[in-house]
Amino acid sequence: MLIHIKFNDLYLTPLLNTLMESLDNISDSCNTDTTNYRLFHHVIQRSSFFSLFFLAIYSNNILAEETPNLAKPKIIVPEKISGVTTLSAEQVLETLISTSPPLLVDARIKQDRNYGYIESSISLPDIETNCNTLAKIVTTNKDESIIFYCNGVQCGRSVASIKIARSCGYHHLFWLKGGFAEWKDKGHQYVTHK
């Protein structure tokens, strides 16, 4: 009997086949032909297979639940960010049509931006935001006003970007907490590439 089971990226086929062969060898070495012995041998073979099968499934589930994804820590979205002005979509629109509009930064990943973005925004995903990338898009000085946004109120990408910008010495930071979802829901114009 060939069994193919993958457990933590290892195939258990050789192990299980060795176990089955061992059970077969034990039964061959015993010169017994009783019905009870055959039944016992059958139960041992089947229970060994199912025990290892369920162990493999159960262990993978435990590992998946207990291993945190350290590459992408979860950002808790606060109600407010200290030292940062929270804006509504209408307030952002007013500042964008003013005589000295602020820099508008879309902190979402590129795939999210494909669904639409605010027209004058610059794409700088939170995972690419650092002092060097900010310096490339901020053309004047660190006193320039910058508005950050992402997908919506539960999106932490803009929060992460704001914290990075603050640590880089930028002082006039604004946050469209409702993000692109609020902008779109309020019927403001946006660009899409779909």
CA nearest 172: which of 110, 101, 116, 71?
101
Name the residue with higher pLDDT: 40 or 170.
Answer: 170
Round to whole Å and give the CA distance between 102 and 174.
Answer: 9
Round to whole Å and give the CA distance between 151 and 106.
Answer: 9
**Domain range list for the chain:** 6-66, 85-185
**What distance separates the 2 farthest-apart alpha carbons in the chain?**
98
Note the pLDDT tens digit of each residue in 118-149: 999 999 999 999 999 999 999 778 889 999 99
Instruction: Say whether pLDDT at 23 is over 80.
Output: no
| Cβ–Cβ under 8 Å, residues 88 and 179 | no
The pTM is what?
A: 0.62
Band of pLDDT at residue 69, cut at 50, 70 and 90: very low
Domain 85-185 grouped into CATH 2.40.30.30: no
